[in-house]
Amino acid sequence: MTDVNVTTEENSLNIPKNYLNNDVGLGRGVYISTYGCQMNVNDTERMHSLLEMANFSPVQTPEEASLIIINACSVREKPVHKVYSEVGTFKKLKEKNPGLKIGVGGCVGQQEKENLIKNQPLIDFVFGTDNIDNLPNLVSQVFETGTKAVNAKFEHRAPYHVETLVRNPGVSTFVNITKGCDNFCTFCIVPYTRGREKSRPLSHILLDVRTLIQRGVKEVTLLGQNVNSYKSEDGHDFADLLKKVALETDIERIRYTTSHPKDFNEKLMHVMADHQDKICEYVHLPFQAGSTKILERMNRNYTREEYIAKINQMKKIIPNLVLSTDIIVGFPGETEEDFNDTVSMVEEVGYETIFAFMYSPRPFTKAAKFEDQVAEEVKNRRLNYLFDVHDKLAFELVAKYKDQTLNVLVESVNEQGKAFGRSTQNKSVYFLGSNDLIGKTVPVRIMTATPNVLRGELVQ
């Protein structure tokens, strides 16, 4: 292909700035298809906000769009194939409307760069995870010149300045505090797709939260791949940040995700306990595997015993702590015995929610090259077994909520008067309520409790 304007790590950024045309979107609709974690979901919001400044309007279906973007995740299973097959479904649309432009971003864009365009000619442009703010410029270029473009260069030297861009923040919103990851767990592609770890300046985060409060936000979730390694330019750590958000803003509720067990320290536990009026008692603490041998091969930097000791300490310090976790089954070299260690960990700790996945070899990662890969049917069997064990446990664990009165922050109420909100324990709660409750924290008495949903009634 001759007309690919490549701007990757190996090629310097060469998009002429004069392409930036704020009106390029006039009369054009944009449809963004999003996969992956909260980072990607938040990035999609950012893309919509930036494209709105270039006068694109969001549309609900690809059929209505002049611009389609796939914001793809590459953490597991054949993500590139998923992108190609989704793009394939747009073939007829492109035949009908040759002006339609298709772009790919997110972690797959970062990982594959120009390969995507080479392998799927329906794709017009690709952009990386550090290049979102350049999206209006890139899109202008693609529409105005009709050439293909790739912009997937990590901005290693640029500071991490990303004030939250969200169109309708609603009651609860995400605030990025760190980007990237330097941990290099041997199974994980994130350090390659999100680059080196960087923290936002503390003052920017506080300002962001205050601005969101003015827009009606009551709850923020501080977001990063490994929030506990947050480090501000003047030496404040994550516990300091959390305390400052609690004390120096009027936010009602604070959550955060994701924590790394090796960096979760006692100081943070005390900050959570001391500010429980604002900081929710729910912690997502991925353990990945219950066997120390496997943890070592994963490069997680903690043993089973260290993890359990930390959990016990947390349970002591943080009243009513609620836990969830991420687990990988069938990591290379995992024996039945190792797997049983994972099952017993789930039982011993008592997670109300688990996110468990079959190990999937990822490009660039060390574990993909390990020779003792586990057969697919074994991984499958182990995963199903783990879910069966956890399902039973989860029903037992949530039974305690029946007849309890929980404080629910109401996020929405539908036309039938069904109100939805979350409790501080991060439980989804449904009850009958009216529109004026949106944004308010109300007491709800729980009548039925299942692992994913609690149903109750408003305490008048």
Residue 19 near ligand SAH by CB under 6 A: no
d(CA 428, CA 330) in angstroms, rounded, equals 31
Residue 224 near ligand F3S by CB under 6 A: no
Residue 107 near ligand F3S by CB under 6 A: yes
Partner that binds at residue 184, options ligand SF4, ligand F3S, ligand SAH, none, CB closer than 5 to 8 Å by kind: ligand SF4
Q: Structure tokens of 400?
A: 């305690």
Residue 362 near ligand SAH by CB under 6 A: yes
User: In terms of DSSP H, where are the helices of 19-60?
Assistant: 38-53
Instruction: Count Cβ atoms within 10 A of the Cβ of residue 245 and give its class: 0-12 exposed, 13-18 middle, 19 or more buried.
Output: buried
Give the number of C-alpha atoms closer than 13 A to the C-alpha of residue 261, restricted to the C-beta side: 27
Largest separation between any pair of C-alpha atoms in the chain: 69
Residue 186 near ligand SAH by CB under 6 A: no
Residue 383 near ligand SAH by CB under 6 A: no
The closest of 437, 449, 436 to 404, measured between CA atoms, is 449
Task: Work out how close the CB of 262 gets to ligand SF4 at its nearest, in angstroms, rounded to a whole number.
Answer: 9
Q: Structure tokens of 172?
A: 């609860």
Footprint (CB under 6 A) of ligand SF4, residues 229-268: 260
Mapped to the 3 state alphabet, what secondary structure does 136-194 carry?
HHHHHHHHHHCCEEEECCCCCCCCCCCCCCCCCCCCEEEEECEECCCCCCCCCCHHHHC
Residue 195 near ligand SF4 by CB under 6 A: no
Task: Work out how close the CB of 323 gets to ligand F3S at its nearest, in angstroms, rounded to a whole number.
Answer: 20
Q: Structure tokens of 81?
A: 């194939």
Type and span of the H or E element at 88: helix 79-88
Residue 297 near ligand SF4 by CB under 6 A: no
Angle at CA of residue 210, ends 238 and 250, nearest 5°: 80
Task: Work out how close the CB of 299 gets to ligand SF4 at its nearest, in angstroms, rounded to a whole number.
Answer: 8
Contact pattern from residue 216 through residue 235 relative to ligand SAH, giving x for each residue in contact according to CB under 6 A and a dash for the rest: ---------xx---------
Residue 36 near ligand F3S by CB under 6 A: yes
- What 8-state DSSP symbol labels residue 392? H
Query: Which one of the spans 31-39, 92-100, 167-175, 252-260 is the region binding ligand F3S (CB under 6 A)?
Result: 31-39
Task: Work out how close the CB of 446 gets to ligand SAH at its nearest, in angstroms, rounded to a whole number.
Answer: 29
The pairing of strands 418-423 and 428-432 is antiparallel
Site of interaction with ligand SF4 (CB under 6 A): 181, 183-185, 188, 190-191, 225-226, 260
Site of interaction with ligand SAH (CB under 6 A): 75-76, 187-188, 190, 225-226, 258, 260, 286, 288, 326, 328, 357, 359-360, 362
Site of interaction with ligand F3S (CB under 6 A): 36-37, 39-40, 73-75, 106-107, 189-190, 193-194
